[in-house]
A and B are shown apart, each in its own frame.
Chain A
Amino acid sequence: MNIHEYQAKKILQSYGIKVPEGAIAYTPGEAKRGAQRVSPHGPWMMKAQIQSGARADGHFLEKKAGRKGGIRLIKHRKDIFTEAEKMLGSTLVTKQTGDKGKTVSKVYIEKYYKTKQMFYAGLIINRNVPCITLLITPSTTNVLELAVQEPDKILYTNLGLDDEVTVEQTTKILDFLHLNEKYRDELRDFINKMHKAFLELDAIMMEINPVGIDSEDKLIALDAKISFDDNALYRHPDIWQLHDDYEDDAGTLKAAQYGFGYYKLDEGSIGCIVNGDGVALSMADMLDAHGEQMACFLNVKGGVDKDKISSGIKIIMTNPRVEGILINILGGFLRCNLVADGIIAAASEVGLNVPLVVRFEGTNKDEAKDILDSSGLPVIQADSMEDAVVKLVKAMRESD
């Protein structure tokens, strides 16, 4: 789960990390009052709160929003209201949002901090070791591009679960960033606080880009991004509260409610229901080989509740982009007959308006096939994954 910059900053602040004074605003009036509160004389930063990186380099689709990106420096008080007016309700397109962009429903007004130096600090789960890895680089632009093209420009430091960053590690980071020795304690403290927050809150990614050194020689988080482990959210009801329903696809949200996984692709017209990610990936490859593309997949995992499975199937059946459905279940923990019951329940509620191919294998397969056969639903049954793909593609072309 992702949260907004202003929420992430509040969390970092509660761990003792310095962040700019800021106020969230849903209207230009709130922006004006907020600006007055955080810094009476300015200047200010106004930042579009959408969950995407590269907001500064983005552009708005609407002319009224002006040519500038989603992060703007504002010097005069009179401009706050008008700039907020421009951004609010407008659509910001960044490298990460896709062409459609995201609507800006709130902006964050911050006191502007002049900095002497800036760098990038990130913590991520490194599954190869496995451990938590700290990434440091003096470059504050595109870290991913840097990782691909010039990996030497990033310093990778592996951190344990209980350990704080060591003296040696701190020295390396200082040298790497060409930072003055006087920042040693400050830097070490900053990283330890990040690490502590990361661990305690079950984060899987935390980026502060940039960290600035302000005029008082303090390290300050000028931007913040945190992603949390969905599987651990039960331990953090307060974090779960920060979830912005507006940011997620409705399918993802509903699937999460039932404990299922859901993944949406940018293109494609086929909705798949599987009980394992590997099969979904494999099916995407196979569909591609037959000239079709997957629109989304739902992973019902080891689901054991017929009602939940039926609700999950409805997510796919009611997705307007879906022109054909492929259900491929290899029963182990999950019993095929439950899925068959779920299909019938879902179809009777929302109707089955597109071709549906089902392939059952494994636990209680014969029972499941009989259930579908005697249901009267126009379900096409298949014997293998490839058979299912071929049959669906054929049915879709015939129904065109």
Chain B
Amino acid sequence: MSILVNKSTRVLVQGITGVQASFHVKRALAIGTKIVSGVSPQRGGTKYFGVPVFNTVQEAVTETKAEASVMFVPARAVKSAVKEVVEAGIKLAVMIADNVPVRDMLEIKTMLKGSETMLIGPNTPGIITPKEACLGIFPENIHQPGNIGVVSRSSTLTYEAALEIDRAGLGQSTVVGLGDDMIIGTDFVEILKRFHEDDNTKAIVLLGKLGGMYEEICAQYYADIKHKKPVIAYIAGTTMPFDYKMGYAGDIITHGKITAEHKREVMRSSGMIVVENLSQIHEYLSALK
């Protein structure tokens, strides 16, 4: 069991013929990801790694019943890529690209409203259910199956968490990278909810960082859950002076309550275990066993 994706999820790859996509598609196929189709304009009718390629997402969905998409498209093309998946009724889309303009994300958020599509990213390593499905760019050799859920707002810290889980002799049910950017498709709350609904997930590792109020909102949600699964949370950026990305503007919106320390306080009082240091994660996990 897992959340969002498993070995029977029918995956399509947007931009499948690109150099980066090729590298990661090969690896995704190797761990068993059920990639049923690829999309690459003007390459329709060909095959790539044995996967049929279509010109549009709609064709791919009609022909191969794809239900999730991983987008290997550059930042400048993400808007039209999202438009396609929304119109084709894709349930889950993962946007790998970084450097997506804020305004494009605002437009994308508007497109997603009322649609059936859940967007993960941008600027994310994606989603992996170890040994079943990888929609993204995870280094698959560090992910082992197990019953710890991981949700993270930092790409590289996601890998650190996987290593910590490994150190504790455990594995992951599913790992979800929400994306490093200012505006993201899906936040902690939705993923935390799914982990609570998944019988196989026994505990959750949550990685947050300075900037925005995603962690605070998530803590509020967690505080109200009746049957809580243990959440081990880590927040990066305690020693940074302020929201280094949004700076001033971020501070005005959050009335200055933007410090990592504030996040930690709120999370702790919601019932989460907040660790000071990444390498404490495996200790707490071992204690949970």
Hey, which bits of chain A sit against chain B, CB under 8 A? 122, 124-128, 130-133, 135, 143-144, 147-148, 151, 154, 160-161, 199, 202, 204-205, 227, 229, 231-232, 234-235, 259, 263, 265, 274-279, 281-282, 284-289, 293-294, 301-302, 304, 328, 330-333, 361-363, 365, 384-386
Using A124-B249, A285-B237, A288-B239 as known contacts, say yes or no to A161 and B244 having CB atoms under 8 A apart. no
Of A127, A133, A286, the contact of B183 (CB 8 Å cutoff): A127
Q: How large is the interface on B (under 10, 10 to 19, 20 to 34, 35 or more residues)?
A: 35 or more
Residues of B within 8 Å of A301, CB to CB, are 98-99
B236 touches A204 (CB 8 A): no
B181-196 interface (Cβ within 8 A of A):
182-183
Q: How far is the CB of A392 from chain B (nearest CB, A)?
A: 16
Query: Which of B32-40, B44-52, B104-112, B219-227 interfaces with chain A?
Result: B104-112
Using A202-B102, A385-B160 as known contacts, say yes or no to A231 and B253 having CB atoms under 8 A apart. no
B109 touches A130 (CB 8 A): yes
Q: How far is the CA of A205 from the CA of B75 in the complex (A)?
A: 21
- Main secondary structure on chain A at its contact with chain B? mixed
Q: How far is the CA of A199 from the CA of B107 in the complex (A)?
A: 11
> B41 interface residue, CB < 8 Å from A?
no
A330 touches B160 (CB 8 A): yes
Q: List 22 A-B contacts (CB under 8 A).
A: A124-B252, A128-B213, A132-B106, A148-B255, A151-B255, A161-B110, A202-B101, A202-B103, A204-B249, A227-B249, A229-B102, A231-B100, A232-B103, A276-B180, A277-B245, A278-B156, A281-B210, A281-B236, A330-B139, A330-B160, A333-B24, A386-B278
Of B104, B107, B212, the contact of A128 (CB 8 Å cutoff): B212
- Nearest A residue (CB) for B100: A231
Starting from the known contacts A132-B106, A281-B209, 14 additional A-B residue pairs (CB-CB under 8 Å) come to A122-B252, A127-B250, A130-B105, A144-B252, A276-B157, A278-B207, A279-B154, A282-B154, A282-B236, A286-B278, A288-B238, A301-B99, A333-B137, A385-B160
- Nearest A residue (CB) for B245: A277
Q: How far is the CA of A84 from the CA of B42 in the complex (A)?
A: 62
B236 touches A278 (CB 8 A): yes
> B20 interface residue, CB < 8 Å from A?
yes
User: Most chain-B Cβ atoms within 10 A of its Cβ — which of A231, A287, A301?
Assistant: A231
Residues of A within 8 Å of B246, CB to CB, are 125, 127, 204
Q: How far is the CB of B278 from chain A (nearest CB, A)?
A: 6
Using A135-B252, A202-B101, A302-B98 as known contacts, say yes or no to A285 and B238 having CB atoms under 8 A apart. yes
